[in-house]
Chain A
Amino acid sequence: MREIKPRTFGAWLLIGIALIYATVLFILPMIAIVQGAFANGIEPLLETLSEPSVIHAFQVTFVLSLGAVLINALLGLTTAWVLVRHRFRGRKLFDALVDIPFVFSPVIAGYAMIVLFGRDGWLAPPIFPIVFALPGILLAKTFVSLPFVTREVQPVLDSLTPEPEEAAYTIGASRWTTFRRVILPEIWTALLYGIVLTFARAVGEFGAVSVVGGNIEGYTETATSFVFRAMNDRNNVGAYGVSVLLGVFSVLILIIMNLLRRRMTQGVRDVDSA
């Protein structure tokens, strides 16, 4: 417990700066969006949100984001496992490269995908189209949210002591059983946390998705690209309405993240007291 001292001028100043910063950057914008959405009452808002193109945009967004989550959960977990458990040439470079989607501009990533998977690209698809189609959006969402699961799981996996695993082996558990019943429960919370972050990122993505998907209304248009189009069309109710829904989704994600984080520190405390 830290001692509570009377606040000095400097402390007040710091608190003030932090509060102003938070207010201007995300509290005011959220209030503005909610206010804008309900400016003409709830009727036009509900009307806009039940338009087929809006519903379709949300379907595309959430279904494909879930797809990205599934892919990144499995491959991200595999990547974390490989980085922690295996020593191979180039491992450190690979480890550093995992963060590329964080630093790469999504628009450039989307463009690179067009070059790669487009009609004349190296990996031009033989059967169904990828670029300007739903598979492209799935790819874009997967790419931009790729590092989360790996980066959440990796340190936890790295911190596991070998004894419980080795005990499981001597008891007779196969590698798979040991992973499922001994290791997975240990990394479960971190994995969930990574999945939630992945989902949030995939839902919110705009740049890569609009480049690869082409924002075709009723087909490749996602919730975020709908907001962009509505804005350009001066369809304020539509833009505000979809934004509010996405905002509510973000708040939900935030709550889940906090619950998970509490569970993670709980886990750490259990180890300490043992």
Chain B
Amino acid sequence: MSIQLERVNKSYGVQPVVRDFSLEIETGELFVLLGASGSGKSTLLRMIAGLTEVDSGRILLNDQDVTHLPPQKRGTGFVFQNYSLFRHMTVAQNIGFGLSIRRTRRQVHVQRVQELLELIGLPDYGDRYPSQLSGGQQQRVALARALAYQPSVLLLDEPFGALDVKIRVQLRQNLREIHKRLGLTAILVTHDQEEAFDIADRIGIIEQGELLEVGTPSELYRRPQNLFTATFLGSTNILRARRNGKSVYVGDVSIPAPPETDHLTGQPVEVLFRPEEVELSTVRPAAQTSVIGSGTVENIAFAGPILRLSVRLASGETIQALLTPGEFRERGIEPGQEVWVSLKDYHLLPTNTAAEKTPVAVTETN
């Protein structure tokens, strides 16, 4: 186990920023800690690196308790969001900084720096100064500098946050490749869910200093165990319902209950479904699909490769649906039209968790 956090707590004054945070990260894993700004994710990363002290709890790196070790003795590599290069040193000197501190032999030093320059795709940039590089190039140098002394874990604090979208996507893929090639254990902190989905082996959702849920990107997206997760990752439709027997009653219609939700029998639940799992048709679909009723198309928004429709159900609630332009043309849907709404995939959560964790806002994909 490369990184273990055991009930870590941290407050600034009376304001708790990290609460009872426990997490285990496997060797070789690229773990993404995803949370809004102010959720405590950066503080957590800084505590792992030793830049911020913990109030209570334990931090283990490679089974060694480092909770009270200074950052110099932890052997982590840290990449900051911005401007962390030593600007009076050349790129090669920046990358070689960790090696010179460890008094690595000259020949090994030079060779290792050159390897890293090639790894980050800047083989001829060794003699330049940071001010002569673009933001993306600087960040790649920062990564190389953090990798030079072969740290046991790599910690990245919003490393692509200050960069343009295009460069961000490119650097993400670079990082993914480098991570695979070197078999690193890494934690990346971000507020960008697209970024998290793109590179993470596993994602942890952090909100108000608490770890809400951990899972692979698809687990978290398709079967979130938590309403916050569901709304934080992409947009989602939520309808109140009641589970009884083998069915879920949404208003006066029933749809089959997912078998893994038997423990919720007899309880009020929330039915969660992604806009892309909504099927719309002008004629009533065949009986075996999960029809949740009919509604009126209120609005059709063009969003590039996809169309976003809002449909007001007979019960009064509005849901979002996504259709490809092809599907849209085939079905001949127009604003104001009556349509049948059925669900291709859906998911239940007990209503009481919803009461505990009210989503702050419904975040939209794209």
Residues of A within 8 A of B88 (CB): 185-186
Asked whether any CB of chain B lies closer than 8 Å to the CB of A273, the reply is yes
A171 & B98 in contact (Cβ 8 Å cutoff) = yes
Given A161-B83, A164-B83, A274-B87: A169 and B51 interface contact (C-beta under 8 Å)? yes
Within B79-117, the residues touching A (CB, 8 Å) are: 80, 82-88, 97-98, 101-102
A173 & B97 in contact (Cβ 8 Å cutoff) = yes
Closest chain B residue, CB of each to CB of A182: B86
Within A152-169, the residues touching B (CB, 8 Å) are: 161, 163-164, 166-169
B130 CB, nearest partner CB in chain A, Å: 6
Residues of B within 8 A of A273 (CB): 131
Asked whether any CB of chain A lies closer than 8 Å to the CB of B288, the reply is no
B74 & A170 in contact (Cβ 8 Å cutoff) = yes
A169 & B70 in contact (Cβ 8 Å cutoff) = yes
Name the one of A166, A172, A186 contacting B98, with C-beta atoms under 8 angstroms: A172
A56 CB, nearest partner CB in chain B, Å: 42
Asked whether any CB of chain A lies closer than 8 Å to the CB of B268, the reply is no
Given A171-B98, A172-B149, A274-B131: A163 and B82 interface contact (C-beta under 8 Å)? yes
Residues of A within 8 A of B155 (CB): 170
Given A171-B101, A172-B101, A173-B97: A166 and B72 interface contact (C-beta under 8 Å)? no
B80 & A173 in contact (Cβ 8 Å cutoff) = no
Closest chain A residue, CB of each to CB of B87: A270
B72 & A169 in contact (Cβ 8 Å cutoff) = yes
B51 & A166 in contact (Cβ 8 Å cutoff) = yes
Residues of A within 8 A of B84 (CB): 163-164, 166-167
A166 to B74, CA, bound (A): 13
Asked whether any CB of chain B lies closer than 8 Å to the CB of A105, the reply is no
Number of A-B residue pairs having CB atoms within 8 Å of each other in the complex: 77
B263 CB, nearest partner CB in chain A, Å: 45
Given A163-B83, A274-B87, A274-B138: A173 and B72 interface contact (C-beta under 8 Å)? yes
Asked whether any CB of chain A lies closer than 8 Å to the CB of B76, the reply is yes
1/0 per residue, CB under 8 A from A, across B47-90: the answer is 00111000000000000000000111011111010111111100
B72 & A172 in contact (Cβ 8 Å cutoff) = yes
Residues of B within 8 A of A168 (CB): 86, 97
Given A170-B50, A171-B101, A172-B101: A274 and B83 interface contact (C-beta under 8 Å)? yes
Within B98-152, the residues touching A (CB, 8 Å) are: 98, 101-102, 129-131, 138, 142, 145-146, 149
1/0 per residue, CB under 8 A from B, across A240-274: the answer is 00000000000000000000000000000011011
A43 CB, nearest partner CB in chain B, Å: 51
Residues of A within 8 A of B78 (CB): 166-167, 170
B80 & A163 in contact (Cβ 8 Å cutoff) = yes
A28 to B276, CA, bound (A): 85
Closest chain A residue, CB of each to CB of B142: A167
A5 CB, nearest partner CB in chain B, Å: 36
A174 to B101, CA, bound (A): 9
A177 to B131, CA, bound (A): 23
Name the one of B74, B77, B86, B131 contacting A164, with C-beta atoms under 8 angstroms: B86
Closest chain A residue, CB of each to CB of B74: A170
Q: By CB atoms of chain B within 10 A, which of A166, A168, A182, A274 has the most?
A: A274
Within A13-27, the residues touching B (CB, 8 Å) are: none
Residues of B within 8 A of A185 (CB): 86, 88
A119 CB, nearest partner CB in chain B, Å: 51
Name the one of A161, A167, A173 contacting B101, with C-beta atoms under 8 angstroms: A173
Residues of A within 8 A of B83 (CB): 161, 163-164, 271, 274
1/0 per residue, CB under 8 A from B, across A214-230: the answer is 00000000000000000
A274 to B138, CA, bound (A): 9
A270 to B83, CA, bound (A): 12
Name the one of B49, B72, B76 contacting A174, with C-beta atoms under 8 angstroms: B72
Name the one of A166, A182, A270 contacting B131, with C-beta atoms under 8 angstroms: A270
Closest chain B residue, CB of each to CB of A186: B88
A169 to B82, CA, bound (A): 16
Residues of A within 8 A of B129 (CB): 270
Residues of A within 8 A of B80 (CB): 163, 166-167
B75 CB, nearest partner CB in chain A, Å: 8
A267 to B53, CA, bound (A): 33
B72 CB, nearest partner CB in chain A, Å: 5
Residues of B within 8 A of A172 (CB): 72, 75, 98, 101-102, 149
Listed by A's residue number, 16 A-B pairs whose Cβ atoms lie within 8 Å are A163-B82, A163-B84, A164-B83, A164-B84, A166-B78, A167-B78, A167-B146, A170-B74, A170-B77, A171-B149, A172-B98, A172-B102, A182-B86, A186-B88, A270-B87, A274-B130
Closest 7 CB pairs of A and B: A163-B84, A170-B78, A185-B88, A169-B71, A270-B131, A171-B98, A163-B80
Contacts beyond the supplied A163-B83, A173-B101: 13 A-B pairs with Cβ under 8 Å = A164-B87, A167-B84, A167-B86, A169-B51, A169-B70, A170-B78, A171-B101, A171-B145, A172-B72, A270-B87, A270-B129, A271-B83, A274-B87
